[in-house]
Amino acid sequence: MGLNHAALRHAVIESASFLVRIGAVSMSHHGNFSVRVPGTDTILLTATSSFDNLKAENLALLDLDGKLIEGEINPTNAEIVHMHAIVYKERPETGAVVHTHSTYATSFALASRSLGCSYEALVRQDMTDGIPLAKYGPRGSAESVTNIAEALSKAKNTKAVLLENHGVLAFGADPAAAARANLIVEEAAQMAIFAEVLGGAKNIPPEMLKATVGRRDEFTRAGTRQA
């Protein structure tokens, strides 16, 4: 296990543990996490179905066609290799992908509803197109993978996809960013569900989305202020 792989494995374990700690997973702590090995078309993927007690040896090395290169992977997670791989193929800048059954986001998926951009945190995290819904297909099937690709093509500015009748798939530049995307989607879904009793969440108008992104970028360019 090279030093580079060891650091990547540690980052995945830390990010998965973070999601469990904050409760952005289902009660079973089911989930899977992958990270791209920089400069390659290979990924390290958690080879077990739970985020509990993850260890470095619980990550298998595969290529984006699903070929196992190093380690072992259980049948349940072998099913979802292509679900992860399609995100790396469709969004080459992606460095990590996480799949969970987080309660509120999955509630939208079970209701066959996409999640609109009504929560400002989605804008701040470059999800101004909201979270699209990928139509249902059997777990890991060619149909399900095609549906994920289609959902991504319709929402260029997003970091997640809702999997109909299944869960949520989030991604980012690295494991911490992917976990953060999963968290923000779960927060947005929770608040949108609570807002239903008040008449429903209202999406941020397009011109305000641009203004919010512009203000964020303006302050980012200015850098940290010091007295």
Q: How many CA atoms lie within 13 A of 224 on its CB side?
A: 1
Measured distance CA(195)–CA(125) in Å, rounded: 21
- pLDDT at residue 76, rounded to an integer: 79
- pLDDT at residue 220, rounded to an integer: 75
| Cα radius of gyration rounded to whole Å, the chain | 17
Residue segments in the chain with a per-residue pLDDT below the cut of 50:
1-2
Please state which CATH class domain 3-219 belongs to.
alpha beta
- pLDDT at residue 23, rounded to an integer: 94
- pLDDT at residue 225, rounded to an integer: 72
- pLDDT at residue 1, rounded to an integer: 45
Contacts of 148 (CB under 8 A, 6+ apart): 83, 86, 87, 90, 134, 161, 163, 169
- pLDDT at residue 81, rounded to an integer: 95
Amino acid of residue 174: D
- pLDDT at residue 221, rounded to an integer: 78
For residue 48, give the 3-state DSSP assignment.
coil
- pLDDT at residue 173, rounded to an integer: 97
Q: For the chain, which residues make up each domain, given as ranges?
A: 3-219
pTM: 0.92
- pLDDT at residue 126, rounded to an integer: 92
Angle, vertex CA 99, rays to CA 97 and CA 100, nearest 5: 145
